[in-house]
Amino acid sequence: MKKILLLLTLLLFVLLVWFSWQWYKDTVLCCGGTTVTEKAKQKSSTPVIAKPDPVVKKYGPLVYEWNADEPITNDLWPDKKAEIIAAAADSKVLKITGPYYSDEVNNTSYENLGIARAEKVKLLLQDSTLTADIETAGKLVQENDTLQTEPFGGTVMEWQTRNENVQEIDDKALIYFPYNSSKKLENENINNYLKDVAKNLQGNEHKVLLTGYTDSKGNAPSNKRLGLYRAEAIRNLLVAMGVTENRIIVDSKGEENPIASNKTKEGRAKNRRVELQIQDN
């Protein structure tokens, strides 16, 4: 009986030692000899990487909401407005082009939302001292899936020269010539405009395309040559103002592509022109 009790006591001791070792190994020792306490310290000393702040999108001075014509302004608008007013000059008009998308619903009385938006911007400018003529237009732009949920910009405001000798229309300028002449009109407006062109060509690699046109008087071959002479006359002036000749391309369409009727004196005067366009390369 004593032997049995001794064996039971010995067995209980062995079990107690085994369970104690398992507890020590699982609780105190861990991961190649690193204690739980040490592991906790390592964990607490690991730098916490903060989540980046959400990106706040910065919009331009004028934005619109989908299907709406009313412009939304922000703190950038006063400076932009002052910049536009400061650029006003005689013989110039301000052209405002508003963006619009084909999927938008136009509930205004205008042909499209682009014109409606430009007219609203015009009102924002007319509450100032600006007295220059203002033209408005709309431009259909490419769709973007995010535009229906986010404000969008795209308004273009640019001063364009408009006088009896030079007319800036869209992306080109029209320089007018007298009848049967390859010489430019001796007019300060033309000289000043070409000086501005020469200045704007500094510091970039843009090129100038000059295309000469005539009215329908005379025969087509002669008008083709006359148109070329006119383009070359403008080229020579630009070269004299510092533009290198290899940056100027001259062409002639003669009596082709009239922009007015050749049946009237006024129409023929508009067709006698050189079209000047700035090209990116």
Q: Looking at residue 147, what is its pLDDT?
A: 64
Q: Looking at residue 1, what is its pLDDT?
A: 62
Q: Which two tokens stand for residue 148?
A: 């229906």
Q: Looking at residue 206, what is its pLDDT?
A: 94
Between CA 93 and CA 95 the distance in angstroms is 6
pLDDT tens-digit series, residues 53-82: 444 445 679 999 999 999 999 889 999 999
Higher pLDDT, 18 or 214: 214
User: pTM for the complete prediction?
Assistant: 0.60
Q: Looking at residue 58, what is its pLDDT?
A: 55
Q: Which residues of 175-214 are buried (b: 16+ CB within 10 A; e: fewer)?
A: bbbeeeebebbeeebbebbbeebbeebeeeeebbebbbbb
Class of domain 163-281: alpha beta
Between CA 190 and CA 237 the distance in angstroms is 10
**Count of C-beta atoms within a 10 Å radius of residue 78:** 11
Which of the four pLDDT bands, split at 50, 70 and 90, describes residue 35?
very low
Domain 59-162 maps to which CATH number in 3.30.1330.60, 3.40.50.1000, 3.40.50.2000, 3.40.50.2300?
3.30.1330.60
Q: Looking at residue 40, what is its pLDDT?
A: 43
Q: Looking at residue 45, what is its pLDDT?
A: 53
Averaged confidence pLDDT in the chain: 81
pLDDT tens-digit series, residues 196-210: 999 999 989 999 999
CATH 3.30.1330.60 range(s) for the chain read 59-162, 163-281
pLDDT greater than 50 at residue 277? yes
Residue with tokens 């910065």, as numbered in its chain: 58
